[in-house]
């Protein structure tokens, strides 16, 4: 039978090599037919194979599993290369060399390098747990140990769809995984401390005991991040913190048994054991139903009561260690072990990691406007409100807090300050707490947070940190900080803390204005804030927490760890801070399931933590010879053009339709936080950054990273080309865009448009190898007036114009990939898109075979078709199973009825078995295969979302 092109074709071969050759063949036809789309040609051929029975969904599933495993292995190889020293036994060699170089410059230089806070690692959790836990564990094991057993385990995990996985993703499961990663990071931190002492002992034989090494910190917001969610009750956060304390006390207890001088620490070990038991009991009580006042009172009174078993200050531990370290009778080996342990205690105190609390600026504003009668949303950055709040923040009056106050308080922000007070009073008095304020656009919000912190007596331990992530915040963030630094109360606060904390969000900035423009804006704000702080408070520290995801569309750099960390906070900016008399401090995030894999095994953790130590110990000489920092007017013009292009795209109604329809059906549940924002926000702005990025990946167009450069400076292309070749910084940014371009497939996007084109369905029904041609015509009728096809084509054409110019620019750059390399690199993902488009069309053709439904079900055939068009296939299947129940035999249950009847005699097996076999079951398998392809596809990007 001829296909849609009038040619007689055999079924598509499902052997992977032959399958990819068929795809190459379709692509080769573009020379004779410029409208050829290799991806959709493959989809049409597979649809016809499915319709005629030449292939089955099970056979396609086997092929998808093969491609999935290939992409997974490719991802593992990139991951292994990133952790270059995994299995090599020397992840710390560069770190030791840099420590030795610092020591060679003298004790002061070594102290500045190894005994001063430089930043740390933060474990964050968002919907990035698309891979099942078993698959992630197998992946980490395979990367750490590339052998036949680990490869077989990886294949088995990859081929297991683990249908129960989405239901296993909860806040508690995310917290548990974060704690496993943190435990590996903690062990790596201990390795670093040991190397610091090793170098110190050799370089300063008479002075090393007086040193106090400072470790890169480990922090987590998992269980404490309330931005965008209301499902975390304050008692859950308290219970989680108590469990973390219990685990850390147990860790310290075990460490004390390992040191040479363990016999002299028996009293301390006993104290830790009793404190651990007390903490475990407190955690158990706070896990109860604290909405019940009696349970609340019991838990609160137990935790707050005076007890010899309580341990609230880590200073009790370090004092005992100090005494032994200073004792000349303590052997050097034992003293070094004790110094390592002391460094661990001073880094982590009485928790497994430092706490990052996060709220939204709107939650803080609600408290201020309601309780203080202040309006903090005026357009002039809240000058009047800021002055009032600054005066109020100067008050020394502290409001006492108890757990009853937490129980009664309704406002989220005030409750978080109360919780800080209770943690510091009754759980861990010494560990700093980060208080992140998302979507900060007004300095009065930060000053209001300082007022509340002082009101509850926690300002001495709280690092209030505004998060700049929206385009407006990134534009005005420098003035934001300048304005805060005009207030004496804020100046005093920063002096007392010793540093200013700022958070920058790569995910949201990349969503709104594109990753390249977002990076340029973030680098600029690094510089502006440094300049403002350097003028007011030289000598203090400036901490930038650069939070980002694991894919290039959310801020991660597709290269080595050195490139990744320098991409987030450049050496030029760090050098600029030093020139201004400031001490640069850098924190980076490892986010969710994808990020935790960097710490998934001890080997990976050692390599990752060592790479971060390399970063903070790296020299910060200025990149003054980089023209990116000299041609500032041209660079900023390029930024504005890039931003304008992305903002124009983001505002297009067609872009909203692209992301607002079937694309959401590609997403799998990947976290415990909701996909969409609350508050009545509509359009692309309502979609969170991770989900937004995931949809673009699944459509084959990571446009927020790949696009915009080609259209940014059309009249200055030559100058832009010369600057990219001459500037290491701009070249690195364009390389990120180039990597995204390698993964961008306009044929895939056009293919999805064709799925929703009624003309395609009519052509297939008339000319294709189709058995159920009537079904295809009914689908075509359902698509009449459907705007998805038109919207996608408009967006694709817009991207095509931009990418033509970008490709021309790339061709003129040094070390740019060839067109052939780009096409070959996309073959596996093209195969997945082609299969998925075929499955989507097959699912639609299945419901096209149905006849009109009975009105008694309050559902029409159009409703069913609409669900499948939006890829809500599971919902459609559930409806169909209700309307058309499968056969059942209940005669055994009613066999005691004595009266003769007709139905009982012939059995009650009167269901819709044939319809289930031919339509409902294949439809369910179609939905499962669509999701399976989504998971496989994310490996090409190295992350979900």
CA dist 906 and 889 (Å) reads 10
Last residue of a domain, one of 581, 596, 617: 617
Do residues 563 and 732 make contact, with C-beta atoms less than 8 angstroms apart?
Answer: yes
Backbone phi, psi, residue 195, to 5°: -75, -35
The per-residue pLDDT for range 20-51, each reduced to its tens digit, is 999 999 999 988 988 899 999 999 999 999 99
User: What number is the average pLDDT over the span 179-196?
Assistant: 98
Look over the chain and give the mean of its residue pLDDT values, rounded to a whole number.
91
Q: Is residue 310, in this structure, part of any structural domain at all?
A: yes
CA dist 601 and 598 (Å) reads 8
Which residues, in sequence order, are CB contacts of 243 under 8 Å at separation 6+?
283
Q: In the numeric block, which tokens belong to residue 667? A: 């997403």
Q: Is residue 387, in this structure, part of any structural domain at all?
A: yes
Give the per-residue pLDDT at 908.
Answer: 45
Q: In the numeric block, which tokens belong to residue 878? A: 């559930």
**Strand 583-591 to 499-505 pairing:** unpaired
Do residues 220 and 351 make contact, with C-beta atoms less than 8 angstroms apart?
Answer: no
The per-residue pLDDT for range 778-795, each reduced to its tens digit, is 999 999 988 999 999 999
User: What number is the average pLDDT over the span 58-76?
Assistant: 97
CA dist 825 and 744 (Å) reads 10
Q: In the numeric block, which tokens belong to residue 870? A: 């939006």
Q: Is residue 147, in this structure, part of any structural domain at all?
A: no
Question: Same structural domain for residues 299 and 327?
Answer: yes
Question: Same structural domain for residues 252 and 357?
Answer: yes
Q: Is the dihedral of CA 327, 332, 337, 341 positive or negative?
A: positive
**For the whole model, what pTM was predicted?**
0.94
CA dist 119 and 25 (Å) reads 53
Question: Same structural domain for residues 632 and 613?
Answer: no
The per-residue pLDDT for range 491-515, each reduced to its tens digit, is 999 999 999 999 999 988 889 999 9
**Given a cut of 90, is residue 313 above it in pLDDT?**
yes
CA dist 847 and 779 (Å) reads 8
Q: Is residue 521, in this structure, part of any structural domain at all?
A: yes
Number of residues written out for the chain: 945
Identify which of 501, 479, 492, 521 has the alpha carbon closest to the alpha carbon of residue 435.
501
CA dist 265 and 212 (Å) reads 20
Q: Is residue 853, in this structure, part of any structural domain at all?
A: no
E strand or H helix that includes residue 516: helix 515-536
**Given a cut of 80, is residue 623 above it in pLDDT?**
no
User: What number is the average pLDDT over the span 903-917?
Assistant: 66
Residue 437 DSSP one-character state: E
Work out the angle at residue 206's Cα, subtended by the Cα atoms of residues 201 and 209, and round it to the nearest 5 degrees.
65
Identify which of 491, 584, 472 has the alpha carbon closest to the alpha carbon of residue 537.
491
**Given a cut of 90, is residue 765 above it in pLDDT?**
yes
Q: In the numeric block, which tokens belong to residue 318? A: 């370090």
Question: Same structural domain for residues 386 and 413?
Answer: yes
Gyration radius of the chain's alpha carbons: 30
CA dist 700 and 937 (Å) reads 9
Work out the angle at residue 439's Cα, subtended by the Cα atoms of residues 675 and 654, and round it to the nearest 5 degrees.
50
Last residue of a domain, one of 617, 651, 685: 617
E strands, 531-670, where? 541-547, 583-591
The alpha helices in 580-631, defined as continuous H runs, are 592-596, 602-617
Query: What is the number of alpha carbons within 13 Å of residue 893 lying toward its C-beta?
Result: 4
Identify which of 179, 215, 66, 205 has the alpha carbon closest to the alpha carbon of residue 613.
215
CA dist 401 and 525 (Å) reads 37
Q: In the numeric block, which tokens belong to residue 637? A: 């013009």
Please state, in angstroms and as integers, the Cα–Cα distance from residue 893 to each residue in 380, 890, 896, 907, 908, following that order: 76, 5, 8, 12, 11
Count of domains observed in the chain = 2
The per-residue pLDDT for range 548-592, each reduced to its tens digit, is 999 999 999 999 999 999 999 999 999 999 999 999 999 999 999
CA dist 36 and 265 (Å) reads 76
**Given a cut of 70, is residue 438 above it in pLDDT?**
yes
**Given a cut of 60, is residue 598 above it in pLDDT?**
yes
Do residues 791 and 654 make contact, with C-beta atoms less than 8 angstroms apart?
Answer: yes
Residue 920 DSSP one-character state: I
Which residues, in sequence order, are CB contacts of 140 under 8 Å at separation 6+?
597, 600, 601, 604
**Given a cut of 70, is residue 910 above it in pLDDT?**
no
Question: Same structural domain for residues 612 and 656?
Answer: no
CA dist 672 and 178 (Å) reads 14
CA dist 490 and 447 (Å) reads 7
Q: Which domain holds residue 52?
A: 16-69+628-847+932-941
Which residues, in sequence order, are CB contacts of 466 under 8 Å at separation 6+?
361, 437, 440, 445, 446, 477, 480, 502, 503
Question: Same structural domain for residues 641 and 530?
Answer: no
Do residues 76 and 939 make contact, with C-beta atoms less than 8 angstroms apart?
Answer: no
Identify which of 365, 525, 358 has the alpha carbon closest to the alpha carbon of residue 442.
365
Q: Is residue 903, in this structure, part of any structural domain at all?
A: no
Identify which of 64, 62, 131 has the alpha carbon closest to the alpha carbon of residue 942.
131
Question: Same structural domain for residues 23 and 122?
Answer: no
Last residue of a domain, one of 598, 617, 636: 617
Question: Same structural domain for residues 757 and 833?
Answer: yes
Q: Is residue 98, in this structure, part of any structural domain at all?
A: yes
Give the per-residue pLDDT at 231.
Answer: 86
Better pLDDT: 878 or 372: 878
Angle between helix 266-286 and 234-258 (nearest 10): 160
CA dist 592 and 507 (Å) reads 14
pLDDT > 90: percent of the chain: 78
Question: Same structural domain for residues 300 and 365?
Answer: yes
Question: Same structural domain for residues 521 and 403?
Answer: yes
The band of 380, judged by pLDDT with boundaries at 50, 70 and 90, is very low
Question: Same structural domain for residues 444 and 486?
Answer: yes
**For 242-252, b where at least 16 C-beta lie within 10 A, e where not — what string?**
bbbbbbbbebb
**Coil vs helix vs strand at 228:** coil
Q: Is residue 863, in this structure, part of any structural domain at all?
A: no
Question: Same structural domain for residues 471 and 508?
Answer: yes
Identify which of 592, 802, 783 has the alpha carbon closest to the alpha carbon of residue 690.
592
Identify which of 597, 495, 596, 584 has the alpha carbon closest to the alpha carbon of residue 546.
584
Do residues 194 and 330 make contact, with C-beta atoms less than 8 angstroms apart?
Answer: no
């Amino acid at each position: 039978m001829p296909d849609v092109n009038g040619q007689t074709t055999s079924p598509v071969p499902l052997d992977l090599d032959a399958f990819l050759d068929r795809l190459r063949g379709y692509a080769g036809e573009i020379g004779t037919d410029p409208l050829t789309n290799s991806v959709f040609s493959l989809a049409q051929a597979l649809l016809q194979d499915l319709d005629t029975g030449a292939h089955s969904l099970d056979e396609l599933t086997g092929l998808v599993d093969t491609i999935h495993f290939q992409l997974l292995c490719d991802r593992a190889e990139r991951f292994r290369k990133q952790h270059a020293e995994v299995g090599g036994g020397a992840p710390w060699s560069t770190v030791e060399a840099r420590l030795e170089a610092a020591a060679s410059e003298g004790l002061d230089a070594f102290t500045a390098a190894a005994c001063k806070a430089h930043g740390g690692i933060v474990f964050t959790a968002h919907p990035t747990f698309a891979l099942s836990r078993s698959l992630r564990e197998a992946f980490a094991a395979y990367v750490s140990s590339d052998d036949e057993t680990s490869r077989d385990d990886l294949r088995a995990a990859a081929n297991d769809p683990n249908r129960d996985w989405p239901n296993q993703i909860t806040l508690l499961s995310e917290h548990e995984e974060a704690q496993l990663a943190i435990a590996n990071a903690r062990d790596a931190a201990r390795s670093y401390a040991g190397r610091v002492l090793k170098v110190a002992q050799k370089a300063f034989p008479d002075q090393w005991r007086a040193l106090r090494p400072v470790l890169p910190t480990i922090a987590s917001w998992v269980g404490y991040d309330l931005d965008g969610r209301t499902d975390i009750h304050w008692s859950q956060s308290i219970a989680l913190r108590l469990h973390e304390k219990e685990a850390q006390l147990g860790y310290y207890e075990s460490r004390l048994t390992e040191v040479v001088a363990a016999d002299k620490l028996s009293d301390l070990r006993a104290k830790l054991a009793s404190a651990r038991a007390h903490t475990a009991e407190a955690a158990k009580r706070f896990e109860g139903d604290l909405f019940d006042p009696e349970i609340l009172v019991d838990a609160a009174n137990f935790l707050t009561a005076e007890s010899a078993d309580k341990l609230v200050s880590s200073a009790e531990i370090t004092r005992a260690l100090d005494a032994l370290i200073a004792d000349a009778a303590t052997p050097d080996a034992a003293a070094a072990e004790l110094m390592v342990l002391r460094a661990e205690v001073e880094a982590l105190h009485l928790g497994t990691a430092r706490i990052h609390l996060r709220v939204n600026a709107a939650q803080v504003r609600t408290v201020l406007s309601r309780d203080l009668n202040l309006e903090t949303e005026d357009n002039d950055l809240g000058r009047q409100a800021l002055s009032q709040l600054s005066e109020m923040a100067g008050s020394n009056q502290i409001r006492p807090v108890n757990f009853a106050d937490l129980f009664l308080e309704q406002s989220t922000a005030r409750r978080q300050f109360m919780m800080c007070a209770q943690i510091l009073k009754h759980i861990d008095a010494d560990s700093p707490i980060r208080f992140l304020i998302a979507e900060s656009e007004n300095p009065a919000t930060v000053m209001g947070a300082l007022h509340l912190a002082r009101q509850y007596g926690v300002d001495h331990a709280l690092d209030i940190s505004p998060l700049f992530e929206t385009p407006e915040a990134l534009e005005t963030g420098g003035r934001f900080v300048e304005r805060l630094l005009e207030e004496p109360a804020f100046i005093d606060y920063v002096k007392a803390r010793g540093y200013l904390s700022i958070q920058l969000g790569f995910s949201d900035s990349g969503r709104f204005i594109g990753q390249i423009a977002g990076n340029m804006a973030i680098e600029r704000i690094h510089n502006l804030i440094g300049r403002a702080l350097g003028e007011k408070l030289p000598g203090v520290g400036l901490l930038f927490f650069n939070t980002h995801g694991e894919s290039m569309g959310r801020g991660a750099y597709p290269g080595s760890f050195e490139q990744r960390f320098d991409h987030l906070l450049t050496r030029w900016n760090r050098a600029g801070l030093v020139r201004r008399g400031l001490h640069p401090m850098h924190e980076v995030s490892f986010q969710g399931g994808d990020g935790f894999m960097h710490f998934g095994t001890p080997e990976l953790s050692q390599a990752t933590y060592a790479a971060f130590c390399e970063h903070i110990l790296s020299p910060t000489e200025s990149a003054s010879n980089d023209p990116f920092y000299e041609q500032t007017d041209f660079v900023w013009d390029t930024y504005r053009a890039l931003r304008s292009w992305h903002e124009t795209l983001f505002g297009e109604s067609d872009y909203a339709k692209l992301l607002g329809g079937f694309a959401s059906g590609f997403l799998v549940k990947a976290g415990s936080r909701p996909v969409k924002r609350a508050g009545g926000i509509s359009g692309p702005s309502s979609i969170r950054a991770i989900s937004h990025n995931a949809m673009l990946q699944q459509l084959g167009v990571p446009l927020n990273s790949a696009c915009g450069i080609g259209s940014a400076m059309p009249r200055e292309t030559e100058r832009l080309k010369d600057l990219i070749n001459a500037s290491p910084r701009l070249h690195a940014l364009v390389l990120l865009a180039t990597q995204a371009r390698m993964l961008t497939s306009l044929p895939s996007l056009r293919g999805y448009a064709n799925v929703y084109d009624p003309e395609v369905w009519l052509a297939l029904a008339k000319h294709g190898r189709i058995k159920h041609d009537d079904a295809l015509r009914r689908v075509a009728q359902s698509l009449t007036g459907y705007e998805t096809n038109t919207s996608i084509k408009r967006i694709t054409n817009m991207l095509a114009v931009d990418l033509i110019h970008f490709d021309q620019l790339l061709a003129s750059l040094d070390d740019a990939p060839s067109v052939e390399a780009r096409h070959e690199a996309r073959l596996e993902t093209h195969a997945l898109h082609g299969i998925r488009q075929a499955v989507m069309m097959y699912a639609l053709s299945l419901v096209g075979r149905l006849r009109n439904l009975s009105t008694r079900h309050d559902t029409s055939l159009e409703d069913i078709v609409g669900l499948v068009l939006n890829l809500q296939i599971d919902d459609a299947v559930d409806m169909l199973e209700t309307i058309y129940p499968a056969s059942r035999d209940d005669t055994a249950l009613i066999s005691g009825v004595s009266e003769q009847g007709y139905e009982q005699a012939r059995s009650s097996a009167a269901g819709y078995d044939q319809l289930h076999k031919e339509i409902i079951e294949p439809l369910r398998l179609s939905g499962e295969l669509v999701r399976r392809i989504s998971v496989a596809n994310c490996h090409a990007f190295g992350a979900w979302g």
